[in-house]
């Protein structure tokens, strides 16, 4: 018996050791490139061109960031990005929750038809050109609302929320109604607080999507004042790429390289989203779980 315990211990110790070392390798694989991106973004153009460093830059420089931030309109873009993400997420979550709440009620008439129609949209979409024509006829071209209104509704999110709401016992709704609560009160005071994990998950997904999206801008916006951060930085990158081509006259002093500007851009755009992650993470995990179980 004694031997058995020792053997088990040895087994699990080997398992642990293996586990830890594999996870360590895995972490290193993820962390080293990230770290490299960060320190490279703080390197001078010359050090970057020469290359050959992994953990510490040869020459510290803020030039890459200066190149990105020297364009004053970047703050305007930052404002657009933040507001479109914030307004977009809040309205999206609220709108999807309302629809999901409605569709979760078995007594709704025509519920099956709505669900079926919704499912069709999950498989088919109009395509780029028809969508453009639609947006155009709605008068959304060159309007801030093109970021919000078309992104208001996602059937995927509705399905997740619908399933979540269905898990809430019917009796809860009944007792609330007996106590005199109306549909709005039941929805706002009971269902929404109970489904925070699902809401947070969808907010997270949608927020990352809104933050990173630049196709909407590319297609529907020509007014520079409405450019979000992503589009602005995309412009800065392509312009830095062609700078050497256009400056045919040739300048001897170039502090930044295209790569440096790209790396600085990556850091700038990723930072806010990374900062949001820990805040929402605890909801996120349980939300994923709940969404995964379907009735």
Partner 1 sequence: MSILNNAVGKKGLKLCAGLLASALLVTGCGGGGGSKGADKENWISIEDRYTVDAETPAWQLDKKEEVTDLTWYVNADWWNTDFGKDIVTKKIKEDLNINIKFITGDDTKLNTFFAGGDMPDLLTIFDSNSPVVQKASTWALPLNDLAEKYDPYFNKVAAQDTLNWFQLADGKTYGYPNYSNTQADYDSGNIPAKTAFIIRKDVYEALGKPSMGTQEEFRKVLSQIRTEFPAMIPFGFNSIGEGSGSLGDVFQDFLGVPLENEDGSFYNRNLDEDYLSWVKTLNGAYRDGNISDDSFADDGTAFEEKVKSGKYATMLLDGTPQQGGNLQIFLSANPGKEYIAIDGPQSTAGHEPLLNQSGITGWMISYITQDCKDPAKAMQVFTYLLSEEGQKLMNYGIEGETYKTNADGTVELLPEVKDLQLNNAEKFKKEYRMGEFMFFGHDRHKALSQDAFPEAIKQMQEWGKGKLKPHFILENINPNQGTPEARGLTAINTKWNTTLVSMVRAKDDTAFDSTLADYKSFLEDNSWDKITLIRTDKMKQNKEKLGIE
> Does 242 interact with partner 1 (rule: CB under 8 A)?
yes
Shortest Å distance, C-beta 247 to partner 1: 5
Report the C-alpha gap between 54 and 171 in whole angstroms. 60
> Does 218 interact with partner 1 (rule: CB under 8 A)?
yes
| 206 in Cβ contact with 144 (< 8 Å) | no
Nearer to partner 1 among residue 102 and residue 272 (C-beta): 102
| Radius of gyration from C-alpha coordinates of the chain | 26
Among 29, 253, 292, 293, binds partner 1 (CB under 8 A): 253
Contacts of 186 (CB under 8 A, 6+ apart): 173, 176, 177
> Does 106 interact with partner 1 (rule: CB under 8 A)?
no
> Does 53 interact with partner 1 (rule: CB under 8 A)?
no
Report the C-alpha gap between 144 and 133 in whole angstroms. 17
Q: For the chain, where are the E strands, in sequence order?
A: none
Nearer to partner 1 among residue 176 and residue 254 (C-beta): 254
287's tokens: 């939300």
Report the C-alpha gap between 4 and 123 in whole angstroms. 56
Tell me 167's DSSP state: T
Among 128, 172, 279, 289, binds partner 1 (CB under 8 A): 128
> Does 196 interact with partner 1 (rule: CB under 8 A)?
no
What is the length of the chain?
Answer: 295
> Does 113 interact with partner 1 (rule: CB under 8 A)?
yes
> Does 50 interact with partner 1 (rule: CB under 8 A)?
yes
Report the C-alpha gap between 183 and 104 in whole angstroms. 13
Shortest Å distance, C-beta 152 to partner 1: 20
Segment near partner 1 (CB under 8 A); pick from 80-88, 176-184, 198-206, 235-243: 235-243
Shortest Å distance, C-beta 128 to partner 1: 7
Nearer to partner 1 among residue 124 and residue 184 (C-beta): 124
226's tokens: 């409405």
Shortest Å distance, C-beta 175 to partner 1: 31
DSSP string covering 252-291: S-----HHHHHHHHHHHHHHHHHHHHHHHHHHHHHHHHHH
Among 246, 275, 294, 295, binds partner 1 (CB under 8 A): 246
| Helical pair 73-104 and 196-212, crossing angle rounded to 10 deg | 140
Shortest Å distance, C-beta 70 to partner 1: 8
Nearer to partner 1 among residue 205 and residue 227 (C-beta): 227
Q: Which residue has the tokens 């993400």?
A: 85
Dihedral, CA of residue 252, residue 256, residue 259 and residue 261, to nearest 10: -140
Shortest Å distance, C-beta 49 to partner 1: 5
Neighbours of 50 (CB within 10 A): 12
Among 10, 62, 116, 122, binds partner 1 (CB under 8 A): 116
Among 169, 180, 193, 250, binds partner 1 (CB under 8 A): 250
Positions in the binding site for partner 1 (CB under 8 A): 48-51, 112-113, 116-117, 128-130, 132-133, 136, 218-219, 222, 224, 234-235, 238-239, 241-254, 257-259
């Amino acid at each position: 018996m004694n031997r058995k315990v020792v053997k088990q211990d040895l087994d699990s110790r080997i398992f642990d050791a293996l586990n830890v070392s594999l996870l360590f390798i895995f972490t290193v694989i993820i962390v080293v490139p990230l770290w490299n991106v960060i320190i490279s973004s703080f390197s001078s153009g010359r050090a970057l061109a020469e290359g050959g460093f992994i953990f510490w830059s040869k020459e510290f420089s803020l030039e890459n960031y200066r190149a990105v931030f020297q364009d004053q309109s970047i703050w305007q873009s930052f404002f657009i990005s933040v507001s479109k993400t914030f307004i977009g997420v809040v309205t999206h979550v609220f709108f999807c929750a309302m629809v999901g709440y409605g569709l979760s009620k078995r007594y709704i008439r025509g519920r099956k038809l709505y669900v079926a129609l919704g499912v069709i949209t999950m498989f088919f979409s109009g395509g780029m050109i028809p969508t453009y024509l639609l947006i155009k006829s709605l008068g959304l071209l060159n309007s801030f609302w093109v970021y919000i209104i078309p992104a208001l509704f996602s059937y995927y999110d509705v399905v997740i929320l619908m399933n979540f709401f269905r898990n809430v016992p019917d009796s809860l709704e009944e007792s609330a109604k007996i106590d005199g609560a109306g549909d709005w009160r039941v929805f706002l005071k009971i269902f929404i607080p109970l489904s925070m994990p699902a809401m947070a998950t969808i907010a997270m997904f949608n927020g990352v999507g809104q933050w990173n999206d630049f196709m909407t801008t590319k297609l529907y916006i020509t007014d520079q004042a409405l450019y979000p951060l992503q589009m602005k930085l995309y412009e800065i990158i392509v312009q830095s790429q062609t700078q050497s081509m256009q400056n045919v006259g040739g300048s001897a002093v170039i502090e930044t390289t295209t790569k440096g500007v790209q790396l600085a851009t990556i850091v700038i755009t990723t930072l806010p989203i990374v900062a949001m992650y820990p805040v929402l993470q605890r909801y996120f995990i349980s939300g994923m779980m709940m969404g995964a179980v379907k009735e």
